[in-house]
Amino acid sequence: MRLSRLVHVGWIVVAALAYGACREDDASSPAPAAGAPACAHVDAELEASFHALARLVAAETYRAEQFANEDAFVASMQAIVDDLNAQAQQFNEGQRTHRIEPWEWKVESGNAAEPRYYWVFGFRLGNGPRKISLNTHFDTVSPGDTDVWEPFVLTKSRGETKHGGEQELWVGRGAIDDKGPALATFLVLKDIARAYDGSPLLDDITVELIFDTTEEIGAMSMRRYREENAGEAADLEIIFDTFWAVRAEKGIERPVFTVPREAPPTAGVWIDSLNTPSGPVNQLPDRAEAILRGDSPAALEELALHIEADYADHPFDDPSYRRAELTVDTSGLPDALKLTTLVAGAQHASVPQENRANGANPLVSLTNFLGALAEEQVLADNDVARMCRFIKSTWGTKTFGETHPELLERHDEVFTEGNGTTYALTRLYTEPSPGAITLHLDVRYAIGHHGQPWDGESEGLLCGDASEFAGIFGQIVDEFNATSGGAPITFETVTRVAPDIRRVDGPTFSRISRAFEEVTGKPAPAVAMGAGTDAKAYVKAIAAGALFDTTFGAPVNYHGIREAAPVRDLALSTKILCGVVEQEIKQAKEQHPEPVAGVCEASSARKRSSAVDDGHDH
C-alpha cells in the first residue's frame, strides 16, 4: 500500500476526532482575551497553528485525471467541513452575542466530466448590509512524485526567502496553496469575532469566509455560485492566495498541437514514444520519458554507450541553459532504450521563466535534445521526432517567445519586460492515444496578445473574448509544415480568459494598500502576474497575500515537490489581512467610490478552433 493511501486512512480517523483535536490546539495556543485589540496576536496564533494545518494537509484534496478519485476527494473535503464546523461550535461557546455561523452552497453537477459537486462553504460573522469576503480554497494540485517526498505529512524545515530571509518552513501539499492561507482566514475571523463580540459595529457589516473546492480546476464552483447568488456579492472580496497585492492577471490561452501517429521507420534508431505523466495543464510535469527503438540491436546499444555524455555536452540554444537531470535505462536492450528527465524547481506553469532560471522543465530539455539528434540524423525522422523538431524551432528552451519575437513576444506598461507573455510546455502524450501525438501548452499572455487593447482607465477584464493566437499559431505551423516533411502538425486553441487589470489608484487596490502600509510602513507593491485567481472578472475582488515576493521556486515551490509555507511571512500576511477586515468594520458606514468597470461593445470574436479543455486555469 502506498504511503499516500495510508495517510488518507489516517486522515479519516483524525477527522473523526477533530473536536478533541481542536481543543488540544486551543490549549497549546491560548486565545487573546475579549476586549484585546483584534489583530494584536493573530500572527503569533498562526505561528502556533502547525498541528491545525497538519490536519488540513493530511486531507488528500487533489483530483486525479478524469475525476477518477472523486469519491475519496469528496470524503476528504467533507472531513474538512466537519472539522472546521466543530471548531466553530467550540469557539461559539465562549461568545456572548456574535457567533460565527457556518454556511454551505452545494449543487450536484450530474456530469461525469465535471466534479461531483459545485461546492463552496464557509462562515459568516455579523449581519450588516456591507460585506467583506475572504476567499481561499482547500483543493490542491496533485501530490507529484511521492517517491521523493511525503506530500500529505506536514513537516518542518528552514529556508531562505527573498523577503523574510531565513525562516521556518512548513512543508506539505497545500501548505501555501492554499490551506495555510485558508487556515489564516479562519484565525482572523475568530479574532475579529472575539474582539467585536457585542459591538454595534457588526450590525453594519458582514464578514464572510469563502472556501472553494474547485479552484485548481478552473474555479467552476465560484463562477456558478456568483452567477446564482448575485445578490450576495461582497463590497470587497480578498482572494487570499497569492501576493501583496495583485493589480493585474494575464490572459490564459490553451493550445494543443497534434501530429498523427505513423508506422515506425524501417531503418535506423528512432523515438518510439515520448510521454509525460498525465496531469493538469497548469503544472509542469514531474518527468518526461522517451523510448528509443531501432532495426539494429547493435546500433541501439552503440547509442546507449554515449547518449548520456552527448546530452551533457549538448549545445542548447542558450549556453547557460540549465538542463534537466537525465537517466539512461539500458535494461530493455537490445530492444529498447529508455531516457528519463526529471523536473527541478517551481512547477507552476504560469511562471515558466522561474523554472528555467532556477530549475528545469523535463519536457523542454528532452524534446530539444532529441529534436537536435533528429536534425543531425542521429535519429531517424518520424512522427515523434517531428514534434520534437517543432518544439525546438518554435520555442527552443525559451519561455517568452524569443525564437519568434515578432509573433510570440509581448510586454507592455502593465506586464513589463521580463514579465510578458509566457509559454509553458507542460504535457506531451504519445500513449495511451495511439492515433495522435498531442502537445499541450499553458500560455499566460500580456495585453498585446489580446484581440482588443486596454483603454488605460477602466478596471476588470479587457473587452473581447479572443486573443490573437489563432492567427499567430496558424502562421507558425504553416511555416514549419512547409519544410518539415511527413504528416503536418495541426492545432486547436482556446482563449480561456482575457487579461484582467486593476488601477493602482482605484478604490479596491487603494484600500488594500492602506492596510498593508499600516502594518509594514510602506505601500503595497503592485504585482502583475500570470497565475489566475478567483478575483478575475470581478472588479470588487482583488488577490492579495499571502506572500511578499513573486518567487515561485525554492523554497516555496508553488505547485511543485516539497511545497512550503514560509511561516514568518504567512504570519505577517495574516496580521495585514486582519487589519484589512478591521479597517472595513470601522469604515462600514462610509461611502466608498466604485471601481470603473469597462464598457464593452458586443464583439465579433475571431473564429478559432475549439479544443477539449481540462479546465485547469490556475
* pTM attached to this predicted model: 0.84
d(CA 270, CA 377): 10
- Residue 125's identity, in one-letter code, is L
* 8 A C-beta contact, residue 261 and residue 489: no
* 8 A C-beta contact, residue 163 and residue 140: no
Q: Cell 551533457: give the residue.
A: 312
The pLDDT of residue 574 = 98
pLDDT digits (tens, 9 = 90+) for 172-186: 999 999 999 999 999
How many CB atoms sit inside 10 A of residue 150's CB?
Answer: 16
The pLDDT of residue 233 = 92
By DSSP bridging, strand 541-543 and strand 236-239 are parallel
State the helix-helix crossing angle for 18-28 and 50-58, rounded to 10 degrees.
150
d(CA 336, CA 271): 10
The pLDDT of residue 18 = 39
Show me where the domains of the chain are located.
3-249+501-586, 251-496
Q: Which of 10-14, 99-103, 496-500 has the highest mean pLDDT?
A: 99-103
The pLDDT of residue 493 = 97
How many CB atoms sit inside 10 A of residue 47's CB?
Answer: 15
d(CA 260, CA 617): 27
Q: Among the CATH numbers 3.20.170.30, 3.40.50.300, 3.40.50.2000, 3.40.630.10, which is that of 3-249+501-586? A: 3.40.630.10
**Confidence band (pLDDT; 50, 70, 90) for 122?**
very high
d(CA 4, CA 478): 46
The pLDDT of residue 35 = 57
d(CA 211, CA 181): 11
d(CA 241, CA 480): 40
pLDDT for residue 346 is more than 70: yes
**Mean residue pLDDT across the chain:** 90
d(CA 526, CA 544): 10
Phi-psi region for residue 345, left (φ > 0), alpha (ψ -120 to 50) or beta? left
pLDDT for residue 61 is more than 60: yes
The pLDDT of residue 66 = 87
* 8 A C-beta contact, residue 437 and residue 430: yes
pLDDT for residue 389 is more than 70: yes
The pLDDT of residue 31 = 53
The pLDDT of residue 32 = 53
Which has the closest alpha carbon to 336: 370, 306, 300? 300
pLDDT for residue 27 is more than 50: no
Residue ranges of E strands in 84-192:
101-108, 117-125, 130-137, 155-161, 165-171
Residue ranges of E strands in 358-480:
422-429, 436-445, 460-461
**Confidence band (pLDDT; 50, 70, 90) for 58?**
very high
Q: Is 607 exposed, middle or buried, given 0-12, 13-18 or 19+ CB atoms closer than 10 A?
A: exposed
* 8 A C-beta contact, residue 208 and residue 101: no
- Beta-carbon-side half-sphere exposure of residue 197 (alpha carbons within 13 Å): 19
d(CA 320, CA 313): 12
d(CA 371, CA 327): 18
pLDDT digits (tens, 9 = 90+) for 225-267: 999 999 889 999 999 998 999 999 999 999 999 999 999 999 9
Q: Which helix (H) or strand (E) holds 497?
A: strand 490-497
pLDDT for residue 164 is more than 90: no
pLDDT for residue 568 is more than 80: yes
d(CA 155, CA 558): 16
The pLDDT of residue 618 = 65
The rounded Cα 399 to chain-centroid distance in angstroms is 17
Where are the alpha helices (H) located in 327-468, listed in sequence order?
Answer: 352-358, 362-375, 383-394, 405-408
pLDDT digits (tens, 9 = 90+) for 264-315: 999 999 999 999 998 889 999 999 999 999 999 999 999 999 999 999 999 9
Q: Which helix (H) or strand (E) holds 500?
A: strand 500-501
